[in-house]
Structure 1
């Protein structure tokens, strides 16, 4: 298939085909938003974000997709090349399309000897480890779960009176970066976080204590197929996470118009399990299974005790 002249690899930037990719992704049951492409492009910058699609030239049908985002080293922080949206249509797997996409998207001299990471689907995780070298695993996985909006009971959650919930623009952004970096195992997401928490297209809140220190933050974004997704939800404690979750959901005036609430907690954070279970009286659907954070050179040591839902599982380890 690599030699088939009917298959062409094309940069995303050359085509306005993000909605087509979103449709394919939705059929796989993944959570993404149409706005995510712009978030990624702004968050990484043009030189650090690349997306490719494999297209059949005769039918113009999309056969596969991959994107990468490069978290550059800032002030000696660890660099990370994160790979996501890596899909090939099921009927075309095993024909070399995925390998060609992978090789082309990481073909950048800046990536030599740089750590690569991804969140692997359970059915692909071993292949990523064996063939592409993503053989370094942390001691946790991402639970891709969901809750029906009709099952949500906001009265089941409590507010922590020792903290205040404020908007993103009400805090020192550099302090937010410092908080995020500590949870991310040193990875700096300066531009990315700003783009991802843009409150014009998200519902984002920050938790601060009585001393004005950031002790948590959370975000919900709207996605395809009338869904909303939580990510990130980081906090110093269970009560802070609960308060953030409650107040962010309460800020969504049309919450009842959505069908599904997607959540992505680490499987070892039992406090997260308890909060989400209480939110819907135990009706958490875990049929989405787990994805596996995996790396080529070293494990990014994210602080899962403070992660109640990861940012998103496309281009972020946590």
Structure 2
């Protein structure tokens, strides 16, 4: 944990870079209560351990030793070495808003990015500000949708014919990574392996009749008593259905959770069909985020993305 002296904050506020888990836990309590951003307990450790570089700036109220604002930045690379930065976790405690603290943190991460390409998920109300003030003006013409399902309404669909799901074993990782690289053109093997293996995660592969991987996915058991479908990548609606059926059957205490949430690109018209299968049509959605880039847009096969991994630092 290092104190960042160059950030000129008001008296009584210090900025800490990559603080201890204790401070992240405080941050998680705030974002869960006010924004419904819920993570697994070890998400912070995942980011620190697997990204080439990772910055979590937190502004701390020194009098009470409490987090009041935060923003994070991660560095990943394309296979050709080109850098992609991503910004996430931009947040300020309500009573500290309007004092300029969060804006200073955001300007700091933009200094860290420099002239490189940077990506974030802009929330509906923040998207124009990111585009106008910070040059995140390159974006697709579709949004990501937030889907909200009460666990009591879940119906586990039957396994479609011709498909088999299995837990990920040691000899599966190479083929899983090869499939993932067709979805997301970034060097994220270390990240994806730890992400799918983290405590509080149920993950599965789906294979066709010839034994070829045609998708993989996970459900994460998060704070706030929620389940998060993230990611869910599949070649077809049937493959996605097989995955979610197997994963839900693999959850040891499904009924102890209140909700299942998912974020997906509305460019994939099969996702509402999948959600209808899971709930007999009883689910709610709203427009939530969109990709925004500063230099160059990354393009993904949206028809294969049934749920994004997460919207902090995973671009798909």
TM-score normalized with structure 2 length: 0.91
Equivalence map 1:81-120=2 (5 Å) = 81-108=85-112, 111-120=113-122
State the distance in 2 between where 1:278 and 1:306 align.
Answer: 18
Asked if the contact 1:177–1:188 (Cα under 8 Å) also holds between the matched residues in 2, the reply is: no
Equivalence map 1:2-41=2 (5 Å) = 3-14=9-20, 16-27=22-33, 28-41=35-48
State the distance in 2 between where 1:62 and 1:13 align.
Answer: 10
Matching residue within 124, 127, 145 for 1:125: 127
Asked if the contact 2:120–2:313 (Cα under 8 Å) also holds between the matched residues in 1, the reply is: yes
State the distance in 2 between where 1:199 and 1:159 align.
Answer: 26
State the distance in 2 between where 1:17 and 1:9 align.
Answer: 12
Indicate how the Cα distance of structure 1 residues 170 and 4 shifts in structure 2: closer, same or farther if over 3 A, else same: closer
**Bigger strand share:** 2
Instruction: Give the number of equivalent residue pairs.
Output: 309
Aligned to 1:196: 195
Instruction: Give the Å deviation of 1:138.
Output: 1.4
Aligned to 2:166: 166
Instruction: Give the Å deviation of 1:2.
Output: 5.0
Instruction: Give the Å deviation of 1:112.
Output: 3.4
Task: Answer with 36-45 or 239-248: which moved more.
Answer: 36-45
Cα root mean square deviation, aligned:
1.9
State the distance in 1 between where 2:91 and 2:106 align.
Answer: 10
Kindly provide the CA deviation profile for residues 58-83 of structure 1, in whole angstroms up to 9, marking residues without a partner as x: 2323211111111124x316431111
TM-score normalized with structure 1 length: 0.91
Instruction: Give the Å deviation of 1:95.
Output: 2.7
Structure 1 runs (4+) greater than 4 angstroms displaced? none
In structure 1, the gaps of 5 or more residues are: none
State the distance in 2 between where 1:171 and 1:271 align.
Answer: 31
Instruction: Give the Å deviation of 1:23.
Output: 0.8
Asked if the contact 1:22–1:33 (Cα under 8 Å) also holds between the matched residues in 2, the reply is: no
Aligned to 1:177: 177
State the distance in 2 between where 1:162 and 1:78 align.
Answer: 40
State the distance in 1 between where 2:111 and 2:193 align.
Answer: 27
